[in-house]
Amino acid sequence: MLEIIFLIPFVTAIAAFFLPRTAGRRLMVITGIIHLFFTAMIWINRPAAMFPGYFGIWSEGLLSLTVISLLFCLISIYTMEYLKHSHIQHENVFIGSLLLFLSTMTMVTLSDHIMVMWIAIEATTLTSAPLIFTHRTPRSLEATWKYVLICSVGIAMALLGSVLITLAMDVGHVNVPVSFSELTGAATQLDPVWLKAAFVFIFVGYGTKMGLAPMHTWLPDAHSEAPSPASAMLSGVLLNCAYLGIFKTNKIMVAAGLGNFSGTILMVFGLMSIMAAATFIIKQTEYKRMLAYSSIENMGIIAFGTGIGGIGAYGAILCLIHHSLIKSSLFLTSGNIHSGYNSWFIDQIGRLPRRMPKTFVAFLAGFAGIAGFPPFGMFIGEMLIIFGGFRAGHYAMIAIFILSLCFIFAGLSNQIIKMSFGDVPEEIKGVFHEKASLVWPQYALLLTSLALCVWMPDILYQTIMDAAMAMSGGF
Amino acid sequence: MIESIILWILAILLSPFYAAVILKVKAFFGGRKGPPLLIHYYTLMKLFKKASVYSTSTTFIFKMGPLVSLCAALMALLFLPIAGRPPVLSFNGDVIFILYLLGLGRFFTIAAAMDTASPFEGMGAAREAFFPIICEVGMFMILLLFFQLAGALSLSAYFTGGHTAALWHMAGAPMLFVVISFFIILLAENSRVPVDDPATHLELTMIHEVMVLDHGGPDFALIEMGSFIKLFFYATFVERLICPVVSANPAVNFCLFAVILLIIYKVIGLVESVMARYRMDIVPRLLLISFSLAFFAFVITLEFVK
Amino acid sequence: MDFIFLSILLMVAGTALCLVIHRQFTLMKTTGVLAISAGCLIGLFNSLIQLFHPGTEAFAAAYLHGFSLSFAIDGLSAFFLVIIYFVSFLAALYSFHYLSTPEKALRTGLSYLFFSLLIASMVLVVVAANMITFMLFWEIMSLSSFFLVVYDYEKPENRKAGYLYFVFSHIGAMMLFAAFGLIYGFSGSFGFDGAASLPDWVKIVVFVLAFAGFGSKAGVFPFHVWLPHAHPAAPSHISAVMSGVMIKIGIYGILRVYAVLNDHHPLFGEILVIAGMISGILGVVYALGQQDIKRMLAYSSIENIGIILIGMGIGMMGVSAGNPVMAVLGFAGGLFHVLNHAVFKSLLFMGAGLVIKKTGVHDMDAMGGLMKKMRITGITFLAGSLAISGLPPLNGFVGEFFIYMGGFKGAGMDKLPLILSLMAIISLAVIGGLALACFTRVLGVVFQGEPRSERAAKADEKGPMMLIPMAALAVSCGIIGVFPEVFSLMTIRGVSALNLGYGDIPFSPFLQMTGNISRSAAVFLLLVICVLAVRYFLYQGKSIPRAATWGCGFTRPTVKMQYTGSSYARSIIDFFRPVAYLCENHPPVQGVFPAGTQYSSHVIDIAERYMEVGIVRPVLFFFDKLRWIQQGDIHPYIGYILLAIVLLLFFV
Amino acid sequence: MIHSVDILLSFVLLSVLFSFGTSRLVVMIRIVAFQGVAAAIAPFFLEHSMSFGGIVFTMSILSIRGIIIPWSIYAVVKKIGIKRALEINVGYNASLFFCLLLIVSAQMLSHKFNLSDFTGSKLIVSAAISLIVAGLFLLMARRNAIVMVLAYIMMENGISLLGAPLSAGAHTIVEFGILLDVLAGVMIMGIMLQSIQNKYVNLDTAQLRKLKE
């Protein structure tokens, strides 16, 4: 009875559309908790799916599901407080779409059938569009328009890719259900040319959604215009879902012995994304866009690591998890900062430790984490990716990788130091009252990342390893 | 050992006399009679009798200046083989020790000068801090050469007994360069013309003399002592270089030494009389010349040694 | 090992407590100081035992499945541990009276926490025995020290300093990642021991990368740009630790990598000697050009790092030229200078900190005459200046003496070693002379003469906890200088851990050298006492009047007429004009009755200048141009998707 | 022998040509509707044995593709009340020329696929490709928001046309899901169109470039 886990939020979402504000908020939090509970159940006893052809549990899916569930639970608690202060007219729409969003993303993590995966991912686009459009401003309208159109077009490409996979099956005379698990088994019989073509389309399609350059163009707009909890969800887990699509397809490629082809593509696009992020982080004027670009950077890093394989793939999955935790906390924090200074511009922010100390701690810790400093998990991930790159002998690429990471750090730290310690106009000096429930979700996220850098449960390690193994990963 | 110590004391006692020789020579060239040869003893006596006036700006460093610079000079002299006889102290690397010890003396002289808050003394201190750097480089160049030849790092390995002659044998002509270069260093380190004019009366143009303006009485005497001994040290150095022979008979040996030393002092006097003091910005050039001489000597001897 | 962990635990836990009780300011400070100093003493004691009873002690713990955090103490680690603990201990004591702003209570508590984290991470870096462990604590070290640098973040220059430091340390860390990644790539293990089996060219690349990475922490010449900004920004006890100890961790890293590569390629030594000469000479020249006293000290740290590198380079050249005496002398000299510099540089930073705290100005030309008001500070500073100028009978001389001896051994050889050791010796001489000029300048301008400003005239030295550490350091300068035997034994232990393949190194030649040094020092002191006696006798029963300084006929001298530090250094700076351009700002005097005018000058650091012109601007330009790709119109965006597909389809 | 579906598909290709030439929205909508119908009933011809469920399913698809989607766009157009879409990046003549080029190249490309052995149709692939690329082209070439939406639908039609023979019969549920997604997408875009019309005076997407870098 696996499907229930995305049916529950679906049902509650429908309910939320018609509920009054407060009830809706409570429902959201409750749903988050239930969802987390069911996820835990899945860890304990792996239940079978009702439609085995379409759904199933695989390590990578389980990992992202856990991340989604945890994040949503914490974010929903944050959102409850957040909604009290922010003036959103159609709050029930917001909550409802948030829950639908959760449901669709859960579906992505569980889907095994290629087309179902596509349906789910496209559904995430549609359910998240209202979230971005929440503020109903021209800017948010523009962002939503670009988001919907670009993602739809991109994902249409992915659909084409999926169709090409079926073509590859027909040409190779393979008669199995069109599900990732089956295809990975029968990968060697698939027609390589069509498989490659399919991968190209699927990669570009889901890559658009994942925010890999040069298809990333919608991402900064969408992330900067959505309300902070929504941006946290988008950046924290939506990108992971898109990545899941690529990951599963890459599994097929590796199984089919085309790992080099797909790996090279992943690495090149990863580097391009990092470079693109560097381009726009330096001299960025709005801090939420800056965070969005840093998400692009991290997606690039993850893609790069996946392409490398070996311990690089392991590092990539670590980066995936920790990026979700840290980046979502950063987006939530950015919401606090906005309420403290009511400006999205970097040069309007300063003296954080004086004005909002709790937020400052979360902000700076999050920055340290995202920049790959210990004791946060990104450190291990990035180190493994670099080591793995050297192991695999991609010296030139690693050189570019390191170089652009340096650029990004130079840009990012400049902005962060300005925001944290810089001067501000007189009128926004003085202490701003911070609600505890607006900071401790961030702390919880950061502490999770920290804890995972200090100690990792064995079962989690096994799961990550299992996922990485599929990419010829592991040590 | 005893002999060495006696020699050391003798050297200390004789140094004022030799310094007076320079005055005599200069006076001769100036067509004057000049002061008696014992003039410096008289001055020292006079100074010892006097008391001194301390500036209100000064601290204990001002009193330490003369003291330390004198001690440094005395110490340096302890390592020096006089008349080719073994010195009191000696160990491998003592040359470096001596050079840095003289540096210590210089440090305190400068510090004492800065202590008085007088602009002129500061000016002198700045020069005193600058020029010796280049001299030291030259010294180290010469050292490198000697090390190439003698394979050791102590004055006694260069100047006792027949060692100096051996140096000449190995190096040959380039040693002349060394002599000249070292003579320039001598002039600079002991603030003689053309680097510095101890006899001038315009403070702006002095180096060493201006730094001791505020010292008086016994303190000043100690400074004078120090400079005499320092000059004696360098002069002996040159003496060994130009007259490496050591006769078996001590009496002859010492007479020879005394005479040659006298000649060197006369030459210094001669230089002082025939030359004018350089402009301050020319001085580094002169010192660089001494360095490059030593450098050439080194490069050329490399060929001989191989 | 347990003691090490115990000390760390003590420090971190104690300082974490500070955050809880930061409301009671004094209590908090007491807790912090006690925790840190207790931890340091335990560690110091233990590491001294480690040092003198050789034999490696190791500890390993599984970490995140598949990795392990492994630690080991050998002679080299122990040597650095001693330095870390010793200096940090005194710095902690110093901080008690130095941090005296109750309104910044929480910030002070945080600074204690990060201070202890810094110490802990330095310790763990030094004892780390595999790459993961090393990088983990290396990054923590950078992070915690960054927070200490921006302690006083209200000042924009401090923010800039923090930024520069952050970026440089991160780039350095990336270099190290690359170096270690290469090692892993070829050996396939996270341990250091795999490095010995690398192919030669890889070893060279690894060494160069590691040198760049560690050099950016140690402040080797082209990578030093952050250092003169960061050290003045940090609180003085932190600058003392950073300059005295933290930058030495970079030196440790170079030595460690050299040891694990276990390759004696001549290039290594040559790189180090050349880099050392450049950093040494330029460092001291720039130091001469500074007005800010702490900036000056920072540059002089660069100079001393240069001396250390020269020593190590001579050592490496000796190894590769098969000349054990030279090798051991070089390494021992380098390590000895590491110890010395830790001692006197932290002393000088503490002194500078006290002076700044009391006078409230950083500019040396606004101080003056402090020797009378702040006697102990002045005397200890004098000792430090003598020591750092490498003058006997203080400690600075001993290390340089070893390096000289090693260098002269090198001059006994031929070809490249000869030329390089020749240059090394010459540059050591130059550095020595310039350092003397530099520190007579500081002493003369800051402590001697007449006060140049009101604040300077009213300065005092309250706060015994600041004076005690300085006194202790000054005394140890003297002790190390006069009795170097035991300390050189320490360095030998460190050298023997470099597995140069000499077995255990005979100690007798060192005993002889140090014996000579202490004997001559004793004779010198004897002489001083005799002359002192003579002088005392001469002044017997004479009246000593005091009067104003003789103004050479000028009857109304003012304090403004004193020789300033800038003018003192002017002629020397001019001599080095090509590398140290003096930038002056001085409106010309006009008219018959000219109005008041002013003069200001500063020396331009060529590395900083060319980093700006050669790296920063081109990169920014490139990215500015690249920003064109995203102009807000949706149509090209869809075009990018198509483009990506079409391009990729070519490779199908 | 010429496959019956090819007649239909040749008309589709023709319609692509039309869509490039016209600026009238209603015509565009009709064209897209026609293509949708074509895409929907193409399998109908390919399937030799047609089950009842299959027929129902095809009918529903046809109704969505051919009626609901175009109708919803049409409603929007009525609401906004504009007849012509004149905001273009590429002129009509150039577009037409490009379209001919496109159809030819699609025809050539379709030989690589050689699907005819299990579809029997010669034109289906080329038609699909030309629909997809034409959609992409219009997305880039036309600045009017409605036309862009229509272009997106056109692209979707193309994809489903390509998918039709491959996924013949199997996983009808899945196809339906895909269709629902497309439908929802179009609906949302319709809402967007109206808000764009409200926020800005017209539907020229060139105005939507505030967010950059």
C69 and C61 in contact (C-beta within 8 Å)? yes
Question: How much is the pLDDT for D49?
Answer: 59
Do residue C549 and residue B111 have CB atoms under 8 angstroms apart? Answer: no
Q: Which residue of D has its CA nearest to C629?
A: D213
- Tell me the three-class secondary structure of B165-224, residue by residue: HHHHHHHCCHHHHHHHHHHHHHHHHCCCCCCCCCCCCCHHHCCHHHHCCCCCHHHHHHHH
Q: Show Cβ contacts of residue B43 under 8 Å, excluding neighbours closer than 6 positions.
A: B221, B224
In chain C, residues with a C-beta closer than 8 Å to the C-beta of D208 are 632, 634
Residue D166 near chain A (CB below 8 Å):
yes
Residue with tokens 């000597």: B297
Mean pLDDT of A311-327: 95
Other CB atoms within 10 A of residue D47 CB: 16
Residue C484 is classified by DSSP as: -
Nearest to C299 by CA among C197, C442, C443: C442
Q: For residue B226, how far is the Cα from the chain centroid?
A: 10
Separation CA A301–CA C190 (nearest Å): 22
Q: Show Cβ contacts of residue A173 under 8 Å, excluding neighbours closer than 6 positions.
A: A189
Option in C632, C636, C639 nearest D211 (CB)? C632
For residue C504, pLDDT beyond 80: no
Separation CA B164–CA B260 (nearest Å): 15
Q: For residue A347, how far is the Cα from the chain centroid?
A: 28
Separation CA D101–CA D109 (nearest Å): 12
Residue with tokens 């650091």: C605
What does the block give as tokens for B17? Answer: 């006399």
Do residue B61 and residue C382 have CB atoms under 8 angstroms apart? Answer: yes
For residue B209, pLDDT beyond 90: no
Window 69-98 of D: residues touching C by CB (8 A cutoff) are: 89
Q: A129 vs chain C: nearest CA distance in angstroms?
A: 17
Q: Which residue of B has its CA nearest to C571?
A: B130
In chain C, residues with a C-beta closer than 8 Å to the C-beta of A412 are none
pLDDT in tens, chain D (213 residues): 567 788 888 999 999 999 998 889 999 999 999 999 998 888 777 765 567 777 888 888 889 989 999 999 999 999 888 888 888 888 888 999 998 999 888 888 887 776 655 566 778 888 999 999 999 999 999 999 999 999 999 999 999 888 877 655 556 777 888 888 888 999 999 989 989 888 887 888 888 888 888
Q: C649 vs chain D: nearest CA distance in angstroms?
A: 13
Q: A262 vs chain C: nearest CA distance in angstroms?
A: 10
B210 and B203 in contact (C-beta within 8 Å)? yes
Question: How much is the pLDDT for B107?
Answer: 97
Residue C563 is classified by DSSP as: P
In chain D, residues with a C-beta closer than 8 Å to the C-beta of A170 are 118, 166
Residue-wise pLDDT tens digits, A65-80? 999 999 999 999 999 9
Option in A116, A118, A221 nearest D211 (CB)? A221
Question: How much is the pLDDT for D2?
Answer: 65
Option in C139, C174, C188 nearest A402 (CB)? C174
Mean pLDDT of B224-238: 95
How many CB pairs below 8 Å do chains C and D form together? 30
Nearest to C332 by CA among C107, C124, C509: C509
Residue A397 near chain C (CB below 8 Å):
no
Do residue D140 and residue C627 have CB atoms under 8 angstroms apart? Answer: no
Q: How far apart are the first and last CA of chain A?
A: 35
Q: Peptide bond preceding A375: is omega within 30 degrees of 0, i.e. cis?
A: yes
Do residue B53 and residue C544 have CB atoms under 8 angstroms apart? Answer: yes
Q: Which residues pair with A345 in a beta bridge?
A: A286
- Percent of residues, chain A, with pLDDT higher than 90: 84
User: Mutate which of C113, C645, C649, C650 to test chain A, going by most A C-beta atoms within 10 A?
Assistant: C645
C478, C516, C518 from C483: Cα distances, Å: 8, 10, 6
Nearest to A327 by CA among A234, A217, A218, A248: A234
- Tell me the three-class secondary structure of C591-646, residue by residue: CCCCCCCCCEEEEEEHHHHHHHHHHHHHHHHHHHHHHHHCCCCHHHHHHHHHHHHH
Window 221-240 of A: residues touching D by CB (8 A cutoff) are: 221, 224-225
- Taken as a whole, chain C contains a residue count of 652
Option in D166, D181, D213 nearest A163 (CB)? D166
Do residue B97 and residue C401 have CB atoms under 8 angstroms apart? Answer: yes
Angle at C108 between CA C140 and CA C362, to 5 degrees: 95
Do residue C139 and residue A417 have CB atoms under 8 angstroms apart? Answer: no
Residue with tokens 């910044």: C104
Do residue C633 and residue D209 have CB atoms under 8 angstroms apart? Answer: yes
Lowest mean pLDDT among A412-416, A464-468, C585-589, C635-639: C585-589
Q: D6 vs chain A: nearest CA distance in angstroms?
A: 20
A130, A142, A429 from A136: Cα distances, Å: 10, 10, 31
The predicted complex's ipTM stands at 0.94
pTM above 0.80, yes or no: yes
Chains B and C touch (3+ CB pairs under 8 A): yes
C180 and C135 in contact (C-beta within 8 Å)? yes
How many CB pairs below 8 Å do chains A and D form together? 97
Residue-wise pLDDT tens digits, C3-24? 999 999 999 999 999 999 999 9
Do residue C548 and residue B56 have CB atoms under 8 angstroms apart? Answer: yes
Residue D144 is classified by DSSP as: B
Question: How much is the pLDDT for C225?
Answer: 95
Question: How much is the pLDDT for C541?
Answer: 86
Do residue C633 and residue D213 have CB atoms under 8 angstroms apart? Answer: no
Residue-wise pLDDT tens digits, A205-246? 999 999 999 999 999 999 999 999 999 999 999 999 999 999
Residue C575 is classified by DSSP as: H
Separation CA C297–CA C283 (nearest Å): 10
Question: How much is the pLDDT for C53?
Answer: 85
C218 and C226 in contact (C-beta within 8 Å)? no
Question: How much is the pLDDT for A87?
Answer: 82
Residue D123 is classified by DSSP as: S
**Domain range annotation of chain D:** 4-207
Separation CA D204–CA D196 (nearest Å): 9
What does the block give as tokens for C479? Answer: 């002790």
Option in C631, C638, C639 nearest D212 (CB)? C631
Residue with tokens 């686009």: A125
Q: Using CB atoms within 10 A of its CB, is residue D60 exposed (0-12), middle (13-18) or buried (19+)?
A: middle
Separation CA A105–CA A117 (nearest Å): 10
Separation CA C549–CA B215 (nearest Å): 10
Residue D200 near chain C (CB below 8 Å):
no
Residue D169, phi then psi, degrees to nearest 5: 80, -50
Chains C and A touch (3+ CB pairs under 8 A): yes
Option in D118, D156, D184 nearest A156 (CB)? D156
Residue D208 near chain C (CB below 8 Å):
yes
Do residue C440 and residue B103 have CB atoms under 8 angstroms apart? Answer: no
Collapsed DSSP state (helix, strand, coil) of residue B227: helix
Orientation angle between helical segments A114-132 and A192-210, nearest 10 degrees: 20
Residue with tokens 């005599």: B24
Q: A441 vs chain D: nearest CA distance in angstroms?
A: 30
Q: Show Cβ contacts of residue A241 under 8 Å, excluding neighbours closer than 6 positions.
A: A64, A68, A105, A108, A109, A120, A121, A124, A209
- Tell me the three-class secondary structure of C501-542, residue by residue: CCCCCCCHHHHHHHHHHHHHHHHHHHHHHHHHHHHHHHCCCC
Option in C426, C449, C561 nearest B114 (CB)? C449
Q: CA-based Rg of chain D, rounded to a whole angstrom?
A: 17
Mean pLDDT of C382-386: 97
In chain A, residues with a C-beta closer than 8 Å to the C-beta of C615 are none
C367 and C453 in contact (C-beta within 8 Å)? yes
For residue A475, pLDDT beyond 80: no
Residue B306 is classified by DSSP as: -
For residue A85, pLDDT beyond 80: yes
- Percent of residues, chain C, with pLDDT higher than 90: 80
Separation CA A390–CA A383 (nearest Å): 11
Q: Peptide bond preceding A9: is omega within 30 degrees of 0, i.e. cis?
A: no
Q: CA-based Rg of chain B, rounded to a whole angstrom?
A: 19
A240 and A60 in contact (C-beta within 8 Å)? no
How many CB pairs below 8 Å do chains B and C form together? 218
Separation CA D164–CA D47 (nearest Å): 10
Question: How much is the pLDDT for C555?
Answer: 72
Option in A141, A163, A221 nearest D196 (CB)? A141
Q: C645 vs chain A: nearest CA distance in angstroms?
A: 7
In chain C, residues with a C-beta closer than 8 Å to the C-beta of A414 are 163
In chain C, residues with a C-beta closer than 8 Å to the C-beta of D212 are 630-632
Separation CA A114–CA C396 (nearest Å): 73
Neighbour subunits, C (≥3 Cβ pairs < 8 A)? A, B, D
User: Mutate which of D140, D148, D209 to test chain C, going by most C C-beta atoms within 10 A?
Assistant: D140
Q: A201 vs chain D: nearest CA distance in angstroms?
A: 12
Q: D207 vs chain C: nearest CA distance in angstroms?
A: 8
Residue-wise pLDDT tens digits, C218-229? 999 989 999 999
Q: Which residue of C has its CA nearest to D148?
A: C635
Residue C56 near chain B (CB below 8 Å):
no
Lowest mean pLDDT among B266-270, C406-410, D121-125: D121-125
Separation CA C276–CA C304 (nearest Å): 9
Greatest distance between any 2 Cα atoms in chain B: 61
Separation CA A330–CA A336 (nearest Å): 10
Mean pLDDT of C68-96: 95
Per-residue b or e along A279-295, where b marks 16 or more CB atoms closer than 10 Å to that residue's CB = bbbbebebbbbbbbbbb
Orientation angle between helical segments C324-359 and C293-320, nearest 10 degrees: 170
Window 90-119 of D: residues touching A by CB (8 A cutoff) are: 113, 115, 118
